[in-house]
Structure 1
């Protein structure tokens, strides 16, 4: 069995879905013309409104009816009236045109240099203090720019960046991929977090190897901080014994405070009772924070402005916490910096 349209094109049932897509492409440019004729019920007046010859518009409506295989207009001299099929088609055409206009308004508004939108992703640990401070500083000069904010772990943000759902993201480690552009912005020291009644709690500094026998609470595999934790422990000569895995750094601090393990974490925005945060002297515990975007992807003016702002904050991205105590022990050979974050 086959279907045949007036164009003479024969289509098997297996190509029905493809044909429906082709029909959409065929009809879309004609919807505004059809809606104008239907609104005026007069081809000449519709042609004047659209700025096209009356004969061109008349032929377009005849072709539209032929391609659809239905009669949309009842002709009465110079005027036309919608048939039942025509009224049904007009309702759908007006909804489609309204959606197109709405979409056009949205993308124009998002690209507005003074009041456009930036889709910005960042790590959970950046959300309580770093990102609010960045946006506040940026909006001092761009008060009407709007933000869509997405908190996630690094790999998920990179996926959303590639899907076009994000314009920029702050992540760690700084990605190295041929389809991305990434710039290092800052470095954040990590601390060994222990319960306040822990055997190491009276110390200010610790070598990570001293925690080799401890239970660790960590982020789940796939998180950048988890990879860094595993790498640091490996460089300290052991594989961490993971007791709990989570998705958020402050939850891990709560588990540490409850005596359920120790953790390698960035400094908190607000000190948490029940834990002590120790400087790790060896290996040097730090992670790089960087901004990434899709290579070759054109920026709207607000995205370009925010990107320039972020790049201008290199070395000043993170709020400065109190400096760690002066190291009394020289770094050993296992204290090489984490160039990859």
Structure 2
């Protein structure tokens, strides 16, 4: 298989559109379409279905992407490193962030990256830990900030610290007045939580199991913004890091209270693929990420115990 064809395939698969891939790769659409057709002919399989919404991967296309995305990323990064060795750093870095971290750090990190390293293209992907881990394993993502535990992930991990969890409720619920609640009381309330596939839900389920309690979860939300809006509407309480709802609390839309011991705590880690050598651009973005997390803590924006 020709590398140019694989790179075209990977770009079209990521963007879901020939026109967008044409803009990104700066290659005319007919040339990209021809490369895709040559690759399909060689593999004797259709890689995309074409419809009004764009290019959608077939089962064969998904298999090819899973096997080759990491290879394409690494070759691109080798090129970037060689070009950067004689001048300012360049290259593309795909960074995954869990929503509660993204809400605090993404804009600050993007600004620092643009100001410090204008040759680096930063792509921030926001999702829950389970999805980020899957994309790291596929090689479609370079680094991600996820919540632990970090054992048995088959990834290279660096601990960032521990993030505490607080009770979050709507305006007028009384949490601000109480300032602290017991975990047993909180788990008996109606809750708004992410679905079972996510790490925060697993942590809360474990706390409930220790107390031998059955959770009252009427509404689930796998979107962080939807989850906080549901709490604002009074549909239940949530358990979140205080940094993630700081603005909503300051605006009087939400209230929080600490959870008495044993309070839920989550380990925050930077994860990357085990077989990923890491480029200069990735190293620089990782260093900026650590700096910004430390700065947020120093400014009182993030109550995290750094390691």
TM-score (norm 2): 0.64
Q: State the match for 1:241 in structure 2.
A: 216
Secondary structure of residue in 2 paired with 1:270:
helix
Separation (CA, whole Å) in 2 of partners of 1:107 and 1:183? 21
Note if contact 1:188-1:266 (Cα within 8 Å) is conserved in structure 2: yes
Q: State the match for 2:256 in structure 1.
A: 277
Cα RMSD (Å) of the superposition?
Answer: 3.6
- Mapping of residues 104-253 of structure 1, within 5 Å: 110-111=80-81, 112-113=83-84, 114-177=89-152, 179-198=154-173, 200=175, 202-253=177-228
Secondary structure of residue in 2 paired with 1:193:
strand
Number of positions where the alignment pairs a residue of Structure 1 with one of Structure 2:
233
Q: State the match for 1:295 in structure 2.
A: 274
Note if contact 1:195-1:201 (Cα within 8 Å) is conserved in structure 2: no
Q: C-alpha displacement at 1:240, in angstroms?
A: 1.6
Cα 1:138–1:148, aligned 2, differ >3 Å: closer, same or farther?
A: closer
Q: C-alpha displacement at 1:313, in angstroms?
A: 6.3
2:300 is the alignment partner of 1:320: yes
Larger RCO: 1 or 2 (CA < 8 Å, sep 6+): 2
Structure 1: tracts of 5 or more residues without a match: 1-20, 29-90, 325-336
Cα 1:223–1:290, aligned 2, differ >3 Å: closer, same or farther?
A: same
Separation (CA, whole Å) in 2 of partners of 1:176 and 1:301? 27
Q: C-alpha displacement at 1:151, in angstroms?
A: 1.1
Separation (CA, whole Å) in 2 of partners of 1:287 and 1:109? 37
- Mapping of residues 81-92 of structure 1, within 5 Å: none
Question: What's the CA shift string for 1:128-157, capped at 9, x where partnerless?
Answer: 331222333344432321112211111111
- Which deviates further from its counterpart, 277-286 or 139-148? 139-148
Separation (CA, whole Å) in 2 of partners of 1:297 and 1:322? 30
Secondary structure of residue in 1 paired with 2:248:
coil
Cα 1:271–1:178, aligned 2, differ >3 Å: closer, same or farther?
A: closer
Note if contact 2:105-2:292 (Cα within 8 Å) is conserved in structure 1: no
Cα 1:129–1:274, aligned 2, differ >3 Å: closer, same or farther?
A: closer
Note if contact 2:164-2:303 (Cα within 8 Å) is conserved in structure 1: no
2:241 is the alignment partner of 1:266: yes
Separation (CA, whole Å) in 2 of partners of 1:104 and 1:121? 17
2:266 is the alignment partner of 1:307: no
Note if contact 1:185-1:313 (Cα within 8 Å) is conserved in structure 2: no
Structure 2: tracts of 5 or more residues without a match: 6-29, 40-72
Note if contact 1:186-1:317 (Cα within 8 Å) is conserved in structure 2: no
Cα 1:274–1:236, aligned 2, differ >3 Å: closer, same or farther?
A: farther
Q: C-alpha displacement at 1:277, in angstroms?
A: 0.5
Question: What's the CA shift string for 1:219-245, capped at 9, x where partnerless?
Answer: 111111111222233344423211110
Q: C-alpha displacement at 1:118, in angstroms?
A: 0.5
Separation (CA, whole Å) in 1 of partners of 2:211 and 2:261? 7
Cα 1:166–1:141, aligned 2, differ >3 Å: closer, same or farther?
A: same
Q: C-alpha displacement at 1:247, in angstroms?
A: 1.1
Say which one has the larger Rg.
1
Secondary structure of residue in 1 paired with 2:260:
strand
Separation (CA, whole Å) in 2 of partners of 1:117 and 1:323? 31
